[in-house]
Amino acid sequence: MIVLSDKNYRKGLYPFSSTRHVAEIRVGILTIKEKWELLLGEKVSLSHEDAEAAIPANLLPEPGNFEQIIAGNYAGVESISRPWHIFQQNSRALQADFKALTSSLHSEPVPPGVEVINPSGIFIGKGAVIRNSIINAETGPVYIGEGAEIMEGCLIRGPFAMLNGAVLKMGTRVYGATTLGPKCTAGGEIKNSVLMGYSNKGHDGYLGDAVLGEWCNLGAGTSNSNVKNTGGEISFCLPGFENERAGTKAGLIMGDYSRSAINVSFNTGTLVGICCSVHGTAHPKKFIPDFSWGEDKYAFPKVLNDIGNWKKMKGEELTQAEIANLEKLFKQTL
């Protein structure tokens, strides 16, 4: 059995590695673990240690390179080692996942009233609902998962993926390479961003060159800047890796269970930890530590209560494993 180890990569992939194994990070359509299992046709094992013959969990397997990786040759293999690499690698990963996922699957037909460009690059899963929108797969494939919904008037340019149960609200404008994980809701304008799962950007506002973890929510009017007025290089305040440059386009990194109030404007290169409520200022700091409640500390009982409320909206609930991990992480901030 293949073993994926994230021991040497967890620190550099904060805040997403705080709440999941690195192999459970979504890049493209699938998580890294799911990519391996699709390509191998069998389950893989995850480890936080240097297991014997373990494969680095941050490598991105594709149909053309996974056998090379198993053989121990990592030359030319793309990987993620910082959180901004997720949106930087999303186009390539999405296109590779689309090829691997859809090669043996049958797409549902394009519904009447939907205008498409390059229909061969579009996959529609069972039960998906698409109404009076424009889908352009000329610039990259478009994957629409089972039970997903695209409301009227949406404009979509690939590469783009929305997984099972995800929703695009009326008039949403999406530029590739963008991924909406399971049960995500999106609206407004989005470009080159990944919402890992169960997160919402349901209203007008801009999200670009960004990554949101699971169970995040951006209030109405929330936007992020992704380019400096100077056009210069952007850096993030990543703990332990201060002021590493992320290129000239980089927006928002937000950990699991974090939220913003209405009309919050995030600067370029803003990093928000896990379990944060960003409110009380229109322009928050570029680094917001875990369990922040505005400028104060989030009380742990309220953390669990509020996460539970958000989960109920999508028919889910906090597990005991999640509660135990969050309690451990909260104690580390004291």
Mean pLDDT by 10 residues, the chain (334 residues): 95 98 98 97 95 92 95 96 98 97 94 97 98 98 98 98 98 97 98 98 98 98 97 95 91 98 97 97 93 97 98 96 97 95
What pTM was computed for the model? 0.97
Q: Is 221 left (phi over 0), alpha (psi -120 to 50) or beta?
A: left
| pLDDT of the residue at 58 | 98
| pLDDT of the residue at 263 | 96
| Token code pair at residue 291 | 């369990």
| pLDDT of the residue at 319 | 96
- CB neighbours of 13 closer than 8 A, spacing ≥ 6? 22, 25, 58, 80, 81, 82, 83
Q: How far is CA 3 from the centre of its chain?
A: 23
Cα–Cα dist 104/159, whole Å: 20
Say whether 298 sits in a helix, a strand or coil.
coil
Number of H helices, E strands in the chain: 6, 30
Tell me which residue has tokens 């460009």.
117
In contact, 6 and 23? CB cutoff 8 Å: yes
Adjacent-strand bridge partners of 174: 156, 190
| pLDDT of the residue at 169 | 98
Cα–Cα dist 246/237, whole Å: 11
In contact, 252 and 240? CB cutoff 8 Å: no
Q: Where do the domains of the chain lie?
A: 3-81
